[in-house]
Amino acid sequence: MSPVFSPAAAGALDGPQWLIDRRVAAAETFEATPRPDVSAEEWRYSRIGDLDLDAFAPATQFGDAPMARLDVEPAAIVRCVNGRVMYTDVEQELTDLGVRIGPLADDENGAARLGSVADDAGDYFTLLNDAFMDSPLLIDIPRGVVIDRPIVVTHHAAGDGGAAFPRLVVRVGENAHVDVMDLHTSEADDHILMCPVVELDVAAAGRLGYLKVQEQGANTWQFGSVLARADRDATISAATAAFGGHYARTRADTRLVGRGAHGDLMAIYFGEAEQTLDFRTYQDHVAPDTTSNLLYKGVVAGSARSIYTGLIRVRPDARGTNAFQTNRNLKLSDTAWAESVPNLEIENNDVKCSHASTVGPVDEEQRFYLESRGVPTGEADRLIVAGFLGEVLAKIPVPSAAPALKLAIAEKLARQRDLEPAAMEIVA
């Protein structure tokens, strides 16, 4: 039982009565739920046992947040600090079309939208988010509305010892289309706990592109979820680019509940120094003729660690499922470590599923090829690593974010001492 994250504390947060009641109920459930440990399959390899929850308290500083870097003018900009919506700028044209972007608590549909995906999914930290979310953000795209430029959200956390519980709910109406870039940052040196929950709910024939860019500070612990549901013939393209944090776990669930729904799920990650980047994915095929394609590619350098555990689940009714899961990891040093555990659970015979995973160093043949064209060893490795991640970058939703992500990768690569030119091994 936590003295800080108690039902009483949850009940003291601001908001309409329905939201307060919801928080208190969640806090009560949280209080009655034992903290999972690594003996549970879902938390195997995680660092949940190292988290000192009582070292944190809900953050109370609400300043400004950094801007996302994009190559196009966004259709709307929202900045949130410690889970509170601080700034919104929405083009009038969107408002005229009935698009709603802003604090969910102020929206007439807010109560119905909140939890529409997370309430049947979620884990221990989703529950904690439910109890202590400050001001959830709603992006609601009405039926048939197509927005051709991205909506850009920043979720920033600040304050030493602060815990932030950002909540984003994206609802894409029938046959509507939107792309959302969601930048997660935190103060560089502050000791911070960040438990963001993102709900993506796409109605029939809707299309959603969602890109989460995680650039948290080196002293931040993250237990986050991106929980998606796609209805009939809907398409979700969801990507994560994870660069920051001390320990950063992202759980990504995609439930394909309507016939013909499709999910493109991807991630790039780059851990260095003492970072641990942890990913848990579920591809849940509930309805017939659903397809999902997952590609997670990551790099570990220094003493960094990465964990990928993924499950494709095909329910009894989901005949005609096509589901693929690929996780590839490059290890740039002997002290780096990557774990990759793909899994299938199939309850229907009429399906096509596969999974693949690899962990290894930079390919010697590829390095030799570049070197034989006069590319110095360290430079060859940097090109290969950037190209390895570039395969995913070429497919991400919100392509206008790709140049900034390439730059972030280049900056990481420039810091790697392991990539200096190697000595010759030939004995002459």
In the complex with other proteins, the residue whose CB is nearer, 34 or 374, is 374
For the bound state, the minimum distance from the C-beta of residue 410 to other proteins, rounded and expressed in Å, comes to 12
For the bound state, the minimum distance from the C-beta of residue 59 to other proteins, rounded and expressed in Å, comes to 39
Query: How far is C-alpha 120 from the geometric centre of its chain's CA atoms?
Result: 18
In the complex with other proteins, the residue whose CB is nearer, 219 or 366, is 366
Give the C-alpha separation, 77 to 93, whole Å.
Answer: 14
User: Cα Rg for the chain, rounded, in angstroms?
Assistant: 21
Crossing angle of helices 377-393 and 402-414, rounded to 10°: 150
Give the C-alpha separation, 259 to 256, whole Å.
Answer: 8
CB atoms within 10 A of CB 107: 18
Any bridge partners for residue 281, and if so which? 252, 310
In the complex with other proteins, the residue whose CB is nearer, 177 or 297, is 297
For the bound state, the minimum distance from the C-beta of residue 426 to other proteins, rounded and expressed in Å, comes to 5
In the complex with other proteins, the residue whose CB is nearer, 87 or 368, is 368
In the complex with other proteins, the residue whose CB is nearer, 176 or 370, is 370
For the bound state, the minimum distance from the C-beta of residue 174 to other proteins, rounded and expressed in Å, comes to 37
Under rule CB under 8 A, which residues in 338-377 are in contact with other proteins?
364-366, 368-377
For the bound state, the minimum distance from the C-beta of residue 422 to other proteins, rounded and expressed in Å, comes to 7
In the complex with other proteins, the residue whose CB is nearer, 31 or 379, is 379
Under rule CB under 8 A, which residues in 399-428 are in contact with other proteins?
421-422, 424-428
Per-residue burial over 269-280, b = 16 or more CB atoms within 10 Å of its CB, e = otherwise: bbbbeebbbbbb
In the complex with other proteins, the residue whose CB is nearer, 201 or 418, is 418
For the bound state, the minimum distance from the C-beta of residue 322 to other proteins, rounded and expressed in Å, comes to 22
For the bound state, the minimum distance from the C-beta of residue 399 to other proteins, rounded and expressed in Å, comes to 15
Letters for 33-72 (x = contact with other proteins by CB under 8 A, - = none) are ----------------------------------------
In the complex with other proteins, the residue whose CB is nearer, 80 or 380, is 380
In the complex with other proteins, the residue whose CB is nearer, 96 or 365, is 365
Which residue, among 224, 267, 258, 233, has the nearest Cα to 118 in the 3D structure?
224
Letters for 378-397 (x = contact with other proteins by CB under 8 A, - = none) are -xx--xx-xxxxxx--x---
For the bound state, the minimum distance from the C-beta of residue 6 to other proteins, rounded and expressed in Å, comes to 49
For the bound state, the minimum distance from the C-beta of residue 356 to other proteins, rounded and expressed in Å, comes to 14
In the complex with other proteins, the residue whose CB is nearer, 317 or 363, is 363
Q: How many residues bind other proteins (CB under 8 A)?
A: 31
For the bound state, the minimum distance from the C-beta of residue 294 to other proteins, rounded and expressed in Å, comes to 18
Q: Does residue 279 contact residue 267 with C-beta atoms inside 8 Å?
A: yes
| Lookup result for tokens 């196009």 | 72
Give the C-alpha separation, 65 to 185, whole Å.
Answer: 8
Binding site residues, other proteins, CB under 8 A: 364-366, 368-377, 379-380, 383-384, 386-391, 394, 421-422, 424-428
